[in-house]
Amino acid sequence: MSKPTRAAFGRAVLLLALLLGGCAARDSRGDSPVDSQAQTETPCITGSHYASVSDQDRNYKIQPGDDLAISFYLNPEFDTDVTVRPDGKIGLKLVGDQQARGLTPAELSAELDKAYSTELRDPGVSVLVKSSPSRVVYVQGQVDRPGAVPLQPDMTALAAIAQAGGLSDGANPDAIVLIRRDMCGQPHGEELQLGAVLGHKTDSPGQEDVELLPGDLLVVPRSKISNIGLFVKQYVKDLIPIQPYLPIL
């Protein structure tokens, strides 16, 4: 191996080690989940809690049990709702069984376009994941029915709370905590002040509703939480799934 080749190989190994070591280094330091300096220095952090909803939807891999809405732009008579079978396939008119498991909605749309191209002039297939056993959010605290809530397309924090039975007496709508894991699996908390959106009398300026991601946890307390980082560590340790949202290269 020549010297330039060895040098390039060495740089590649070093870069890979740095990427893989980011999560381990963070865990060993025991940083607070909401330490702003750690968020800027560690490559694992996803950034804004609201930045990657569309990316999550685009990159979602279809799984058995998912309910899909399949529509045809110029041929609505073929529109249908199907559930992915345990073998990962779906059954459709004209083209029969088609593999769906492991594909994103966009990839499945492209595959169905090819399959139907011999039967329809311009299929224009689109696929939407309506619901999935693996796509849930969790609502805890001062709501009528705490627990897991199926994540619907474009579901927001208020919609999830409504699905959980709504706020109970004594709930503080200006102290709701959204907890989300980064790509290292570390939970991060952010306070949501939704009293104004709900029409409650409040001194808070309020904010817009927030779109949710699979695995998000909403906690509705009775009173203001003074230290979000400490709350996250004490309340959600080992409570929500540990898998990160984004793959580690």
pLDDT tens digits for range 179-197: 888 777 788 888 888 877 7
CB-based contacts of 85, cutoff 8 Å, min separation 6: 64, 91
pLDDT of 191 reads: 87
Look up the CATH number of domain 61-131: 3.30.1950.10
61-131 shares the fold of 1-58+135-249 = no
pLDDT tier for residue 245 given thresholds of 50, 70 and 90: very low
SS (H, E, C) 157-224: HHHHHHHCCCECCCCCCCCEEEEEECCCCCEEEEEECCCCCCCCCCCCCCCCCCECCCCCEEEECCCC
pLDDT higher than threshold 90 for residue 159: yes
Burial pattern 140-150, b for ≥16 Cβ within 10 A else e, equals bbbbeebeebe
Instruction: Provide mean pLDDT across the span 48-63.
Output: 62
pLDDT tier for residue 107 given thresholds of 50, 70 and 90: very high
| Mean of all residue pLDDT scores within the chain | 75
pLDDT of 170 reads: 81
The residue with greater pLDDT, 58 or 82, is: 82
Instruction: Provide mean pLDDT across the span 24-28.
Output: 45
Give pTM, 2 decimals: 0.55
Instruction: Provide mean pLDDT across the span 159-184.
Output: 87
pLDDT of 171 reads: 86
pLDDT of 114 reads: 94
Distance between CA atoms of residues 102 and 57, nearest Å:
14
Least confident of 41-55, 71-85, 204-218: 41-55
pLDDT tier for residue 200 given thresholds of 50, 70 and 90: low
pLDDT of 144 reads: 92
In the chain, pLDDT over 70 holds for what percent of residues? 66
- Choices 3.40.190.10, 3.10.560.10, 3.30.70.2740, 3.40.50.300: CATH for 1-58+135-249: 3.10.560.10
Domain boundaries, the chain: 1-58+135-249, 61-131
